[in-house]
Chains A and B, each alone.
Chain A
Amino acid sequence: MKNIISYSSLPKFNLITPSSLKEALELLDQYKNEAQLLAGGTDLLIELRHRLIQPKVVINLKMIPELQTIRITEQELKIGAVTPIIEVLTIPIIKEEYLALYQSLADLADEILRYRATIGGNIGTSSPAADSAASLYVLDAQINISSLAKGQRTVPINQFFTGVKRNLLSSDEIITSISIPRPKKGSRSSFKKMKRSSEDLALVGVACFHNEKKTCLSYTAMAPTPLLIDITDNIVREKKELDEAKFRDIWDIITPILRPIDDIRASKKYRMHMAEMITRTILKEVLE
């Protein structure tokens, strides 16, 4: 039987702090699987301490200015991957145009943690409960990725997550930024999460986006990856008030897609119930 050891030390590794993206990409290209990327470290340090990973080198991304820039153009909002959550929350247009993102990040962990944790790290961990994911899904975010060998590529966020704590990054790639299109006038979004205390991981997270052309929902902690569900047909095409019958129709589409688990945080039954309750309130809120 393997010995259970609760480590308090960190494993041995070399910490390297590049000062440009190019340098970071070169290092990553050199070490590949033997390297881990460090942003805020709020996930990484736990994995290191528990020996879930034992990298030879840790590449610290915090001293690379280009990974922390925020740019707003007519087309998009572009957030550097290593931007701390607390700074994302202060982006001037975030509340008006990206309310769901604002709400999800304002409810991520606690204030102390939000100074450290980064938005790229939240995506990089690829937890099914990642708070930023649901809102980035409904806001149609694009993940910008770089590597020395292949240069740049961009993938829609709903293709990025591939399983519990798995994503499509290859070992030489870095997330450089996240691009979110500027929503059309009249668009609305919202995010809500169910927790066990006022500062907790999501038992269920739900984001919703709606404008005259499109309505969609996204769920976290309800399947191995976040889920995106387009309900435009039900909402936009058939103009009818959202009443109990109509909600039932929508919920019938959603229910089979959700695959929550039973665990110590909540039962499957309660997760399903809460997903339904949040969906009811969030739809009412966003549609009215």
Chain B
Amino acid sequence: MNEYVGQSVPRKDANDKVSGQAMYAVDIDYIPNMLTGKFLASPIAHGKILSIDTAEAEKLPGVVAIVTGKDWPVKIGLYAGDRDILAVEKVVWIGQPVVAVAAESEAIAEEALSLIKIEYEPLEPILDPVKAMDSKQILVHEKMADYNHSPAFHPIPGTNVANHFKLRKGNIEDGFKQADEIFEHSYSMPQISHAYLETIVSIGHYRRDGTIEVWSSAQSPFTVRYLLGITFATPTSNITVYSPLLGGGFGGKAGLNFEPLVVLLSRKANNRPVKLHLTREENFRSAPIRVGMVAKLKTGVTKQGKVTAQQIEYIWDSGACADYAVNVGRAAGYVSIGPYDIEHIKSDSYTVYTNKPYATAFRGFGHLELHWVIERQNEIIAKKLGLDSVTFRKINTLKPGSGITGNQHRLREDAGSIDECLDKVWSELTKKKKKTPPPKPWIFRGVGIAGFMKGPAQPPNSASSSYVKFNEDGSVILSVGTSEMGQGTLTSLAQIAADELGLPIEKVKIRGDRDTDRDAYTWQTVGSRSLFMDGNAVQNACINAKEQIFETASQVLRVIKDDLVIKNELIFPKGEPWNHLSLSEVVMGYMYPTGESIGGPVIGHGKYIAKMTILDSDTGAGNPAIFETFGAQGVELELNALTGEITINQIVSAFDIGKAINPQLCEGQVLGGSVMALSIATSEQLQYSKTGELLNPSFVDYIIARPGDIPKEFSSYFIENPQEDGPHGARGIGELTMIGVPAALGNAIADAINVQIFDLPITSERVWSEIQKQRPELITSLKKQLMEEKP
């Protein structure tokens, strides 16, 4: 009965978004008596607050409230409570909110900020995550021991380590003894910005009756609601969070961010609602970003290509707070070695505090970073051993039944196949690779591939729910908790519902905005989990609704419930379509000709809960995820050795997603994800001064890919080895579409010109300077050839 599943049904929100009718948080300006909020941020990276003088600002007409950290000195955060709403005793990064104002207008709020005087006693900041790891003198959080944290994490008080995740398997020394060759390299990646189009907007309304309403560009409104309840010590039922459509999130809007601040302002502003809309500069400095990474990798391998030992150290630069990023370190910790089966593993993943903007979730959640390390190293090894890229990898890849995260957990038999992804990408890439020589002697061509895997990094009790409510005419309102920020999941969920209920897709309404009072619960919209988790919940809700419909229909038609089916909005016993009732006759209750009525309005509900385990704190063993999506990506490029410029000709991607519920939406994800990853790989980096000041807090110097940087050709392949417990066999894809691109790019450069790059981003300048370093003679001779070239 798959009428819609597997079809490229147009997005339900396309019209609204293209025509400009779609509503975002910034559009909410109709709440009466709303004030403008604005905060003053710390100008120093580390220091004690000596005094705050707001007297002048308070006198300014139009200023309604001013709050400081002392007004609500509660530490907030998702997995670890390490962040002040406003700095309380000390400031820990440039950009940290210290004082906030609510005023009648933006201009007044801004003027008020200029009248506030804050005295600091500067402390030495620590900016380098490697130094921060070892520092006992400079601590970002001296009071770490007092912080609340989830038991899944292991902070080390008295240091800057917010979490230490260990993965242990076999005996690493034995592993290196079995090896014929050992490879040791270091890799790195800078902190980056999510660079979503919509900067953060939060509106808080602390109402007189003590209830709280929040409108926010938040990816996870239910988490915001829950954490607000804890922050303000009030029952969750007192809080409503509305999150309209989001103009991109990529993880940057996944945690709790400025919502407590606007609630606090509203509370002090005589219960008037307060709206905060970050400028791009504020968003860069004060809103969360993505972790940076420094990694050391030591690999033992036999001559035949079997990896015997993998020893890893990941240091994650989380900036001044790690309330969400501790889990990035954990997730990257248990997937440390990528999609491979290795006998001896010793991996340590440290999430580290520094005096820089704080990190949070980011599309890929540590996996783009770790696969940069693993897959660059694998390519270096393959070349050295004289094996081709795919052959070497396939000697070591995970197979059904292989153990992941140590020995305890076995990969399911229906988990999907990394080998099929690698084969597909490699054959397409080599098929299309240009056979003609490059047009100029200084132009080099290369191809590179990377394999990878990722599953949702969520707590073991992460859950989703859904309800489906019938209308008089047999159409339905489908409610889920997952948010819409571009992915298109809602359309896929509607397809699943339409098929399950035998309805035309036009009769399934699914709203894009979220209202925690109205909508079914989901944990968060992160980790490529929604299609799988919420999809199962939707399917269960529809099955539950059908139960109710069949209950009534079986009485009317006098048949056994189990024999009934719904097709084309008709209910009938299987094989007897003539003996039918229409949905509209049943869904609000059936009335017999006499007027006697049975049944009643149908509301189906469904739920789904993750099946995982807590990981062992000494070895990391356990079941970390409900699924792993496997994938591979390949890049074909041309490189100008004289300038370092790279032109990507094509990106080939393959993912084993079990079932492409909506192939066009999957392709959209691949296009968006690959371009985003390319941008990250080639140009994105937050750059700081020696004092910790962000030097590029705008798109003038924070460089993201422009339309002209998009490769000419993309091909995406969806491999469909179904996973039994996925909706229609499906696994998630959203984040996967980015993960392989940076490593494939680095590998293609190595293939083109035999120069190894270990650090991102791969700017033209970096390519040039690495060629200069690794092959100095080459540039000198190419320059001559350039001058001697005849036109």
User: In the complex, are the beta carbons of A196 and B116 less than 8 A apart?
Assistant: no
Per-residue interface assignment for chain A, residues 2 to 38, with 1 indicating a CB less than 8 Å from any chain B CB and 0 otherwise? 1111111100100000000000000000000000000
Q: B721 to chain A: which residues have CB within 8 Å? A: none
User: In the complex, are the beta carbons of A288 and B43 less than 8 A apart?
Assistant: no
User: In the complex, are the beta carbons of A5 and B791 less than 8 A apart?
Assistant: no
Interface stretch, picked from B159-167, B305-313, B579-587, B761-769, is B761-769
For window 696-711 of chain B, which residues contact chain A by CB distance below 8 Å? 696, 700-701, 703-709
A162 to chain B, nearest CB (A): 24
Q: B120 to chain A: which residues have CB within 8 Å? A: 1
Per-residue interface assignment for chain B, residues 249 to 293, with 1 indicating a CB less than 8 Å from any chain A CB and 0 otherwise? 000000000000000000000000000010101100100000000
User: Given A244-B783, A281-B786, are A265 and B701 neighbors across the interface (CB < 8 Å)?
Assistant: yes
CB contacts between A and B, total, < 8 Å:
89
Interface stretch, picked from A66-74, A96-104, A153-161, A198-206, is A198-206
A79 to chain B, nearest CB (A): 26
* Interface presence of B787 (CB below 8 A): yes
* Interface presence of B331 (CB below 8 A): no
A284 to B788, CA, bound (A): 10
For window 230-288 of chain A, which residues contact chain B by CB distance below 8 Å? 242-244, 247, 264-267, 269-270, 273-274, 277, 280-281, 284, 288
Interface of chain A, main secondary structure: loop
User: In the complex, are the beta carbons of B707 and A198 less than 8 A apart?
Assistant: yes
* Interface presence of A87 (CB below 8 A): no
Q: Which of B106, B118, B683 has a CB less than 8 Å from the CB of A9?
A: B106
User: In the complex, are the beta carbons of B41 and A197 less than 8 A apart?
Assistant: no
User: In the complex, are the beta carbons of A194 and B643 less than 8 A apart?
Assistant: yes
A243 to B784, CA, bound (A): 8
User: In the complex, are the beta carbons of A274 and B643 less than 8 A apart?
Assistant: yes
User: In the complex, are the beta carbons of B107 and A9 less than 8 A apart?
Assistant: yes
User: What count of chain A residues pass the 8 Å CB interface test?
Assistant: 35
Q: A12 to chain B: which residues have CB within 8 Å? A: 107
* Interface presence of A110 (CB below 8 A): yes
User: Given A110-B706, A244-B783, are A6 and B701 neighbors across the interface (CB < 8 Å)?
Assistant: no
User: In the complex, are the beta carbons of A5 and B703 less than 8 A apart?
Assistant: no
Q: Which of B44, B105, B709, B769 has a CB less than 8 Å from the CB of A270?
A: B769
A93 to B279, CA, bound (A): 43
Q: B695 to chain A: which residues have CB within 8 Å? A: 264
A274 to B279, CA, bound (A): 35
Q: Which of A2, A199, A273, A280 has a CB less than 8 Å from the CB of B786?
A: A280
A110 to B41, CA, bound (A): 33
For window 738-782 of chain B, which residues contact chain A by CB distance below 8 Å? 763-765, 768-769
A115 to chain B, nearest CB (A): 16
* Interface presence of B51 (CB below 8 A): no
User: Given A200-B703, A265-B701, are A5 and B110 neighbors across the interface (CB < 8 Å)?
Assistant: yes
User: In the complex, are the beta carbons of A197 and B687 less than 8 A apart?
Assistant: no
User: Given A280-B786, A288-B791, are A3 and B703 neighbors across the interface (CB < 8 Å)?
Assistant: no
User: In the complex, are the beta carbons of A3 and B279 less than 8 A apart?
Assistant: no
A247 to B787, CA, bound (A): 8
Q: B430 to chain A: which residues have CB within 8 Å? A: none
For A242, A243, A265, A277, the residue with the greatest tally of chain B CB atoms inside 10 Å of its CB is A277
User: In the complex, are the beta carbons of A264 and B40 less than 8 A apart?
Assistant: no
User: In the complex, are the beta carbons of A277 and B706 less than 8 A apart?
Assistant: no
Q: B768 to chain A: which residues have CB within 8 Å? A: 270, 273
**Residue of A with least CB distance to B688:** A264
For window 100-123 of chain B, which residues contact chain A by CB distance below 8 Å? 105-107, 110, 113-114, 116, 118, 120
* Interface presence of B642 (CB below 8 A): yes
Q: B282 to chain A: which residues have CB within 8 Å? A: 6
Q: A288 to chain B: which residues have CB within 8 Å? A: 791
User: In the complex, are the beta carbons of A3 and B43 less than 8 A apart?
Assistant: yes
**Residue of A with least CB distance to B765:** A270
User: In the complex, are the beta carbons of A3 and B786 less than 8 A apart?
Assistant: no
User: Given A110-B706, A264-B695, A270-B769, are A280 and B281 neighbors across the interface (CB < 8 Å)?
Assistant: no
For window 489-530 of chain B, which residues contact chain A by CB distance below 8 Å? none
A196 to chain B, nearest CB (A): 5
A21 to chain B, nearest CB (A): 33
Interface of chain B, main secondary structure: mixed
User: In the complex, are the beta carbons of B765 and A264 less than 8 A apart?
Assistant: no
User: In the complex, are the beta carbons of B116 and A267 less than 8 A apart?
Assistant: no
Q: Which of B40, B277, B281, B708 has a CB less than 8 Å from the CB of A199?
A: B708
Q: Which of A8, A197, A200, A277 has a CB less than 8 Å from the CB of B106?
A: A8
User: In the complex, are the beta carbons of B786 and A8 less than 8 A apart?
Assistant: no
A269 to B120, CA, bound (A): 39
User: In the complex, are the beta carbons of A196 and B43 less than 8 A apart?
Assistant: no
User: In the complex, are the beta carbons of A197 and B709 less than 8 A apart?
Assistant: yes
Q: Which of B43, B107, B696, B706 has a CB less than 8 Å from the CB of A1?
A: B43
Q: B107 to chain A: which residues have CB within 8 Å? A: 9, 12
Q: Which of A4, A8, A198, A270 has a CB less than 8 Å from the CB of B41?
A: A4
A200 to B702, CA, bound (A): 11
For window 165-199 of chain A, which residues contact chain B by CB distance below 8 Å? 194, 196-199
User: In the complex, are the beta carbons of A280 and B787 less than 8 A apart?
Assistant: yes
Q: A266 to chain B: which residues have CB within 8 Å? A: 765
**Residue of A with least CB distance to B116:** A3
A201 to B699, CA, bound (A): 11
User: In the complex, are the beta carbons of B40 and A3 less than 8 A apart?
Assistant: yes
A281 to B440, CA, bound (A): 13
Q: Which of B40, B43, B110 has a CB less than 8 Å from the CB of A7?
A: B110
A150 to B106, CA, bound (A): 42
User: Given A243-B787, A244-B788, are A197 and B40 neighbors across the interface (CB < 8 Å)?
Assistant: no
Q: A280 to chain B: which residues have CB within 8 Å? A: 783, 786-787
A193 to B245, CA, bound (A): 39
Q: B708 to chain A: which residues have CB within 8 Å? A: 197-199
Per-residue interface assignment for chain A, residues 116 to 130, with 1 indicating a CB less than 8 Å from any chain B CB and 0 otherwise? 000000000000000
Q: B764 to chain A: which residues have CB within 8 Å? A: 194, 196
A84 to B566, CA, bound (A): 63
Q: A198 to chain B: which residues have CB within 8 Å? A: 706-709
User: In the complex, are the beta carbons of A284 and B110 less than 8 A apart?
Assistant: no
**Residue of B with least CB distance to A242:** B787
A277 to B768, CA, bound (A): 12
Q: B709 to chain A: which residues have CB within 8 Å? A: 197-198
A76 to B107, CA, bound (A): 48
A66 to chain B, nearest CB (A): 33
A252 to chain B, nearest CB (A): 15
User: Given A1-B120, A280-B783, are A6 and B706 neighbors across the interface (CB < 8 Å)?
Assistant: no
Per-residue interface assignment for chain B, residues 665 to 708, with 1 indicating a CB less than 8 Å from any chain A CB and 0 otherwise? 00000000000000000010001000000011000110111111
User: In the complex, are the beta carbons of B114 and A267 less than 8 A apart?
Assistant: no
Q: A2 to chain B: which residues have CB within 8 Å? A: 43
Q: List 7 A-B contacts (CB under 8 A).
A: A3-B40, A9-B105, A198-B706, A199-B708, A247-B787, A270-B765, A280-B786
Q: 4 closest pairs, A vs B, by CB?
A: A198-B708, A6-B281, A199-B706, A270-B765
Given A5-B114, A194-B764, A284-B789; 15 other pairs, CB 8 A cutoff: A3-B114, A3-B116, A5-B110, A9-B106, A9-B110, A12-B107, A198-B706, A199-B708, A200-B703, A201-B700, A243-B787, A266-B765, A270-B765, A280-B783, A281-B786
